[in-house]
Amino acid sequence: MKAIRLQGPFDLRLDSVAEPIDPGTDEVVIAVTAVGVCGSDLHMYETGGIGGKFVNEPVTLGHEFAGEVTAVGQGAVTENGEPLRIGDRVAVDPAIPCGRCEPCRDGNPNLCLDHFFHGVPPDDGALVERLKVPARNCFRLPDSVSHEAGSLLETLGVSLHAIDLGRIKLGDTVAIFGAGPVGLLLLVLAKIQGAREVLVFEPVAVRRAKAIALGATAAWDVAPNADLDEVVQPLMQQTRERGVDVVFEAADAGKSVDQSFAAARFGGRVVLVGIPARDRTEFGHSLPRRKGLTVRFSRRMKHTYPRALALQEHPLMAGVLDELVSHRFKLADSKAAFDLALRCGDGILKAIITPQN
Ligand SMILES: [Zn+2]
Ligand SMILES: [Zn+2]
């Protein structure tokens, strides 16, 4: 069967790999139906790795995915103890934490020291026709949730975890740097969480328009190389020079970190969600120190899929995941999807790859 494997920077190939057979106890095989292309996939495509992990052997990318169960191992039940059956439509949590290390036992499985994570080297992911996964990682999709939306429950989970770290209070003001899929989902979640105003910064016009459509109070352009005061000036005007209570940095973590600190109020919180391409972030020190900011780094998510799925019934979230999907590609055309997403071409929001087409 076919898989899309990363061999090095910009080297993404359609390859043949072995068919997954004989799901073991508590495992199922799924036919992968939808895979989201994520910013972290693009980092790996561009640099051949992420966060210090590099591709030494070819690796199958893809960690945002849904599929249809095609084979069921003995005793394969979901985390709720419900048996999985052939034909079930499921979203799959890509993370398999060990459950034994100190972070796991502390309730931080996203920080696990010995985990498997589909689609991050060296672990193979979902850009493949069929895949074997643990049954407990599968979340059954109701009829109202599409395969594509199912794949984006991962993106929503990442956003939910960041929102948890932001601790928005009812009536707070919020700023978001970057209105890609994660930034837009942060916007919707911030509104659900009771934010009074959500102010967005984003250089791409279609994304600013989407932010407004999803309820942003304002969405401003960020000119590259504009100085800090100039960037946050409209926000300072909007907030009467106070700044906002909570800032989410969901861009490239370049200058947007400095900008995030400038946008926060004295004593505010900043959550860093974006991953810088070169694994380095620089920022001025005196401003965040003088403001006494609380800065949280956000990594992946905890046990967030059940909440992400339940939120599909919230009126502010209804249909949003499907609306984010702007482009669809066949498995063989994955490289075109990555190239387009990398240069933010053609008004792209979220590219989905559909391995069964
Ligand atoms: Zn992702
Ligand atoms: Zn662990």
Percent of the chain at pLDDT > 70 equals: 99
SS3 304: coil
Expressed in angstroms and rounded, the spacing between residue 252 Cα and the centre of ligand 1 is 14
Q: pLDDT-based confidence at 253, cuts 50/70/90?
A: low
Q: How confident is the model over 321-343, as a mean pLDDT?
A: 97
Which ligand is located closest to the Cα atom of residue 152? 1
Expressed in angstroms and rounded, the spacing between residue 69 Cα and the centre of ligand 1 is 22
Q: Residues near 215 by Cβ (< 8 Å), separated by ≥ 6?
A: 187, 188, 191, 198, 316
Which CATH code, of 3.50.7.10, 3.10.510.20, 3.40.50.720, 3.40.50.620, is assigned to 158-297?
A: 3.40.50.720
Q: What's the whole-model pTM score?
A: 0.96
Expressed in angstroms and rounded, the spacing between residue 286 Cα and the centre of ligand 1 is 33
Return the domain boundaries, the chain.
2-151+319-354, 158-297
Which ligand is located closest to the Cα atom of residue 110? 2
Which ligand is located closest to the Cα atom of residue 158? 1
Expressed in angstroms and rounded, the spacing between residue 302 Cα and the centre of ligand 2 is 12
Q: pLDDT-based confidence at 50, cuts 50/70/90?
A: confident
- Kindly provide the b/e burial profile for residues 240-266, where b requires at least 16 CB atoms within 10 angstroms of the residue's own CB: eeebbbbbbbbbbbbbbbbbbbbbbbe
Whether pLDDT at 115 is above 70: yes
Expressed in angstroms and rounded, the spacing between residue 252 Cα and the centre of ligand 2 is 28
Expressed in angstroms and rounded, the spacing between residue 174 Cα and the centre of ligand 2 is 33
Expressed in angstroms and rounded, the spacing between residue 119 Cα and the centre of ligand 2 is 18
Q: What is the pLDDT of residues 126-144, one digit of tens each?
A: 999 999 999 999 999 999 9
For position 278, what pLDDT does the model report? 78
Rounded to whole angstroms, the Cα distance separating 46 from 275 reads 13
Beta pairing partners, 3: 15, 128
Expressed in angstroms and rounded, the spacing between residue 35 Cα and the centre of ligand 2 is 26
Three-class SS of 12-49: EEEEECCCCCCCCCCEEEEEEEEEECCHHHHHHHHHCE
Expressed in angstroms and rounded, the spacing between residue 62 Cα and the centre of ligand 1 is 8
CATH class of 2-151+319-354: alpha beta
Which ligand is located closest to the Cα atom of residue 100? 2
Which ligand is located closest to the Cα atom of residue 125? 1
Whether pLDDT at 107 is above 90: yes
Which ligand is located closest to the Cα atom of residue 113? 2
Q: What mean pLDDT is reported for the chain?
A: 95
Expressed in angstroms and rounded, the spacing between residue 18 Cα and the centre of ligand 2 is 29
Which H/E stretch holds residue 148?
A: helix 147-151
Residue 230 corresponds to which amino acid? Answer: E
For position 158, what pLDDT does the model report? 97
Expressed in angstroms and rounded, the spacing between residue 161 Cα and the centre of ligand 1 is 13
Which ligand is located closest to the Cα atom of residue 112? 2
Q: pLDDT-based confidence at 280, cuts 50/70/90?
A: confident
E strand map for 88-194? 89-92, 95-96, 116-117, 130-134, 138-140, 173-177
Q: Residues near 16 by Cβ (< 8 Å), separated by ≥ 6?
A: 1, 2, 3
Expressed in angstroms and rounded, the spacing between residue 279 Cα and the centre of ligand 1 is 17
Surrounding ion ligand 1 within 5 Å at CB are 38, 40
Expressed in angstroms and rounded, the spacing between residue 68 Cα and the centre of ligand 2 is 28
Whether pLDDT at 54 is above 80: no
Q: What is the pLDDT of residues 158-203, one digit of tens each?
A: 999 999 999 999 999 999 999 999 999 999 999 999 999 999 999 9
2-151+319-354 with 158-297: one CATH topology? no
Which ligand is located closest to the Cα atom of residue 300? 1
Q: What is the pLDDT of residues 5-47, one digit of tens each?
A: 999 999 999 999 999 989 999 999 999 999 999 999 999 999 8
Expressed in angstroms and rounded, the spacing between residue 107 Cα and the centre of ligand 2 is 9
For position 277, what pLDDT does the model report? 75
Q: How confident is the model over 312-319, as a mean pLDDT?
A: 96
Q: How confident is the model over 228-250, as a mean pLDDT?
A: 96
Q: pLDDT-based confidence at 223, cuts 50/70/90?
A: confident
Expressed in angstroms and rounded, the spacing between residue 209 Cα and the centre of ligand 1 is 23
Rounded to whole angstroms, the Cα distance separating 236 from 221 reads 15
For position 252, what pLDDT does the model report? 75
Q: How confident is the model over 293-309, as a mean pLDDT?
A: 96
